Amino acid sequence: MKLSTIVICCALALPAFAAKPAEEFKTKAGVLKITPIQHASLTIEAGGKVIQVDPAMGEYADAPKADIILITDIHGDHLDTAKIAQVKKAGTMIIIPGAAQKEVPDGVIMKNGDTKTVGAWSFEAVPMYNLTRGPTKGELFHTKGRGNGYIVTYGGLRIYISGDTENIPEMRALKNIDVAFVCMNLPYTMTPEEAAEAVKAFKPKVVYPYHYGMSDLKAFEAGLKGSGVDVRIRNWY
């Protein structure tokens, strides 16, 4: 399957939209804001710094310039060099998986398991991959080690960004996650039911389904009923 086909299917070929209302979280270092953009793109702001995550979908003409950009994968619904240029400024650090080096030659490579501290922020690259799903038998849409999920920590608040993944053991083993952004959509990642099972295993305080396309969010919400996890459904499209 061609990359262009994957990108269109993952992103649903949707039009651009402006940022949605920001969500605020109290941390030991002050208030942190998270703004959904579209699909898998979001903005994190705190302490006068801006983190842009996968600036690939949505409208960025009026977006705040990034101090740090996080890229999870090479697919076009996560990596768009034109959008990166829109949010980049002098001194912006772009954190990438190694597979993205061709598209982002000035990126700082992090491999699964790597950690990096930048001022008051810390970043941990964690696995994201398919277990069984792929374009053809014996192939996977996302192989282990190609892309990164991230745990972003600021003021003691731990934010997990799943990237494109199935319900992998590394996700289920996560600890002390305050806020989680968990993907779902077929055939590229996982079903809402599988995502709910993963979330029940690592029990973040708050979870936002994102990258969900046409997935049944009611099924995800139902799968977490009684779990104690605060499920927050937002319009990412």
Residue type, 208: Y
Residue type, 46: A
C-alpha 76/C-alpha 132 separation (Å) is 22
pLDDT of residue 19: 59
* 94 neighbors 130 (Cβ within 8 angstroms): no
Per-residue pLDDT tens digits for 36-78: 999 999 999 999 999 999 999 999 988 999 999 999 999 999 9
CATH among 3.30.750.24, 1.10.3720.10, 3.60.15.10, 3.50.50.60 for 19-231: 3.60.15.10
* Domain assignments of the chain as residue spans, ordered by start: 19-231
C-alpha 188/C-alpha 221 separation (Å) is 20
pLDDT of residue 159: 99
pTM of the model: 0.92
Residue showing tokens 């999870």: 72
Per-residue pLDDT tens digits for 188-211: 999 999 999 999 999 999 999 999
